[in-house]
Amino acid sequence: MDDANAASLACLPSVERSKLTKIIASDRCDQLLRILKRCQQHSSRAAIANLVLDRNDNTAVHIASHFAAINSLRLLFDYGGEAVNVSLANKEGKTALHEAVIGGSAQCVRLLLDRGWFVDAIKRGDWTPLMLAVTCARFEVTKLLIEQGKANIHLVNKDGWNCFHLAVRSGDFTTVSYLLSLDECLFKNRSNNNRSPLHSCALHGHYNIAYYLINNKCYESIDEKDMCGNTPFIEAIKSSSIAICKLLIANDCDPRVSDKLQRNVLHIAAECNADESIVYLLNELSFDVNEQCARNGFTALHYAAKEGHSSTIEILKQFQCRLDLRDIKGRLPIDVAISFNHIQCVTLLK
């Protein structure tokens, strides 16, 4: 414990840290005010705001920010003045500004920015407050950070994602269109495994955003591949986002694409238990239910058996899949199911 914290505790002999935490979190200003007034004769009044209150190294200001306790936050600043430390971070690397964003209080965010909090502070994983704001779909807070705080919209986290990519993943159309209005090139961001924003919205089924990105040519190739060889169409198949699949096909994507493991989209759908996608591929795109993967000889049935997807096996059987096809090691789908101890699948494959 440093001298400031020690002095602060000395002027609060009857108040435990846990009690102070509860008072601040519930925004009980009258009780907090009494505590602060007791320290009026001490030079350590500001130490209350900087006081570490829990095992995660959250200070009083962290707590007030996280719980959107705006009145308590104002009191801490009124009594702490310029001595309140704007750079303190907890064990996760989060400053009070990160916590205010998580708490969702635009008032707290505005107050912290006014008090000099660093808008681009990086927590563990290289996440800035802006990245948290767009991930939580907090548009008002996002605008505050950018327009008042001048947050850098081009920073990326440890996975290579910028704020636009994160906004696309979260599905917040308002934030996506707002960010793109600030820089029309933000969509060019690629994650460390070469995933684009179009990959992300396809996987998460955000049709409106997919339509917006495609309509505004916010992609470099409709069949752009990540490091696993997955295209946006493959991602849409994984999540059974059929409307996005149709949108991508309408914009000339290749539905017959294979990933780096030489699996076609039917194989991938079977592995992912994407039953709606399987019906779509077989009914509307005329995929061969028995097509084998060139790398290992697996059919869609083999993949379903390996993962234990009994519902997928039932659907494939409805489309007259063969139970007698062997992979390159000579294994039938039932052999694969037995090796992974998927009893229900074994029963279906007899």
Which is more confident, 49 or 235? Answer: 235
Query: Rounded distance, CA 237 to CA 212, Å?
Result: 19
Give me the pLDDT at residue 142, please.
Answer: 98
Confidence of residue 15 (pLDDT cuts 50, 70, 90): low
- Quick one: what percent of the chain has pLDDT higher than 90? 83
Confidence of residue 251 (pLDDT cuts 50, 70, 90): very high
Query: Rounded distance, CA 248 to CA 280, Å?
Result: 14
Q: Which two tokens stand for residue 156?
A: 């990326």
Give me the pLDDT at residue 49, please.
Answer: 83
Give me the pLDDT at residue 37, please.
Answer: 77
Q: What is the pLDDT of residues 94-122, one digit of tens each?
A: 999 999 999 999 999 999 999 999 999 99
Query: Rounded distance, CA 327 to CA 41, Å?
Result: 81
Tell me the average pLDDT of the chain: 93
Q: Which two tokens stand for residue 130?
A: 């802006």
Query: Rounded distance, CA 313 to CA 214, Å?
Result: 34
Which of 273, 255, 280 has its CA nearest to residue 265?
255
**Does residue 244 have a pLDDT over 70?**
yes
Q: Name the E strands within the chain.
A: none
**Does residue 347 have a pLDDT over 70?**
yes
Q: What share of the chain is helix, strand, coil (3-state, %, to 5)?
A: 55, 0, 45
Q: Which CATH superfamily is domain 262-350 in?
A: Ankyrin repeat-containing domain (1.25.40.20)
Contact 250, 244 (CB under 8 A): no
Burial of 133 (0-12, 13-18, 19+ CB in 10 A): buried
Q: What is the pLDDT of residues 296-331, one digit of tens each?
A: 999 999 999 999 999 999 999 999 999 999 999 999
**Does residue 8 have a pLDDT over 70?**
no
Contact 196, 220 (CB under 8 A): yes
Residues 6+ apart with CB under 8 A from 168: 176, 197, 200, 201, 206, 209, 213
Which of 29, 19, 26 has its CA nearest to residue 67?
26
Give me the pLDDT at residue 1, please.
Answer: 44
Which of 136, 159, 133 has its CA nearest to residue 145?
133
Instruction: Tell me the average pLDDT across 118-130.
Output: 93
**Does residue 10 have a pLDDT over 50?**
no
Confidence of residue 124 (pLDDT cuts 50, 70, 90): confident
Instruction: Tell me the average pLDDT across 160-174.
Output: 97
Query: Rounded distance, CA 166 to CA 223, Å?
Result: 21
Query: Rounded distance, CA 46 to CA 43, Å?
Result: 8
Domain extent listing, the chain? 262-350
**Does residue 80 have a pLDDT over 90?**
no
Q: What is the pLDDT of residues 59-71, one digit of tens each?
A: 999 999 999 999 9
Name the CA dihedral angle for 228, 231, 237, 242, rounded to a multiple of 10 degrees.
170
